[in-house]
Amino acid sequence: MIGRIKTQTSEASQFVVDWMEHRTGIVTMLEHFLYEPVPKRGAWLYTLGSAVLFTITLQFLTGILLLFYYAPTTDDAWNSVEYIMTDAYFGQLIRGIHYWSANFLMAFIGLHMGQVFFSGGYKAPRELNWIVGVILLLLVVGLSFTGYLLRWDQDGFWASVVGMKIGSYSPFVGGYVIHFLLGGDAVGPATLSRFFALHVWLLPATIAPLIGAHLYLLRR
C-alpha cells in the first residue's frame, strides 16, 4: 500500500515537472544556471557561490516572515522584536535563522571572493562578473548595516551613530548622503524609517536582479 502511494506520488510529481518543462523550459534553464562540472581536486571550494545563494535566499524568506510582526517605529520597534522572540509562533527560530544566516552570508561571500581572486576568476573575460560581485558585496554590507538599527536597542543605535560618523568623512558627497539617511542632525524616527525602507525594499530590489546578472555572466 505504502509502495503504491509512493509510486503514484512520484508519477504525479514527474507529470507536473514534465508539464512545466514542456511549456516553459524551466527545468533546462535551472540546470543551465545551477549545475556545472567542477574539478575533483578542491571541488568543495566551488560550492561557496551556492552557499552564498542559499544563505541570501534564507535571508529573504525569513525577512518576509519577520515583516508580519515587525513595527518600524521608534515606539514599537523594540517591542515588536521582543514579541517575535517571546510570543510569535516560531518567532525565535525565524529570527535566529535570519540573524545567523546574515553572519554566515558575510563569511561565505568573503571566502567565495577569495577563492575567485586566487584562482584568477576575476580576469578577462570574467572581469565584468567580478565587478558585479563586488557591487553585490557592498549592497550586502549595506543590508547588514541597515538591519542592525532595526532592533532599536542600545547596540543598534550606537553602532549606527558610529557608522554614520565614519561615513560623514567620505569625500565630496559623504556629508550629504549621511544627512539624508539620518533625516536630520541625529539618529531618530526618520533614520529608522529610512533604514527600514533601504533594508526591506531598495537594497533587496537592487540585489535580486544583480544576482540574476551574476549567474547569467557566470553561465554564458
State the pLDDT at residue 64. Answer: 97
Say what the alpha-carbon torsion angle 100, 104, 106, 108 is, to the nearest 10 degrees: -170
Cell output for 178: 549621511
176 has pLDDT over 70:
yes
Q: Give the lowest-confidence range in 37-51, 127-141, 146-160, 162-176.
A: 37-51
Q: Could you give the percent of the chain with pLDDT greater than 70?
A: 97
Q: Could you give the percent of the chain with pLDDT greater than 90?
A: 61
State the pLDDT at residue 194. Answer: 95
For the entire predicted model, the pTM comes to 0.86
* Calpha distance 137→116 (Å, rounded): 14
pLDDT digits (tens, 9 = 90+) for 185-213: 889 999 999 999 999 999 999 999 999 99
* Calpha distance 197→203 (Å, rounded): 9
Q: What is the mean pLDDT of residues 148-165?
A: 92
| Residue intervals in the chain for CATH 1.20.810.10 | 45-219
Name the maximum alpha-carbon separation found in the chain: 73
163 has pLDDT over 70:
yes
Q: Which amino acid is at 214?
A: H
Which class is 45-219 in CATH? mainly alpha
Nearest alpha-carbon partner for 63 in 143, 162, 4, 1:
143
127 has pLDDT over 90:
yes
**Which of the 8 DSSP states describes residue 105?**
H
Q: Who's near 157: CB < 8 A, 6+ residues apart? A: 149, 187
54 has pLDDT over 90:
yes
* Calpha distance 91→178 (Å, rounded): 33
State the pLDDT at residue 68. Answer: 96
141 has pLDDT over 70:
yes
Per-residue pLDDT band at 169 (split at 50, 70, 90): confident
- Identify whether the C-beta of residue 211 lies closer than 8 Å to the C-beta of residue 204: no
Nearest alpha-carbon partner for 55 in 145, 147, 130, 140:
140
State the pLDDT at residue 80. Answer: 97
* Calpha distance 73→56 (Å, rounded): 26
Per-residue pLDDT band at 6 (split at 50, 70, 90): low
pLDDT digits (tens, 9 = 90+) for 10-37: 777 888 888 998 899 888 887 777 777 7
State the pLDDT at residue 5. Answer: 65
State the pLDDT at residue 88. Answer: 95
Q: What is the mean pLDDT of residues 100-127?
A: 94
Q: Under DSSP, is residue 184 helix (H, G, I), strand (E, B) or coil?
A: coil
Do you know the residue count of the chain? 220
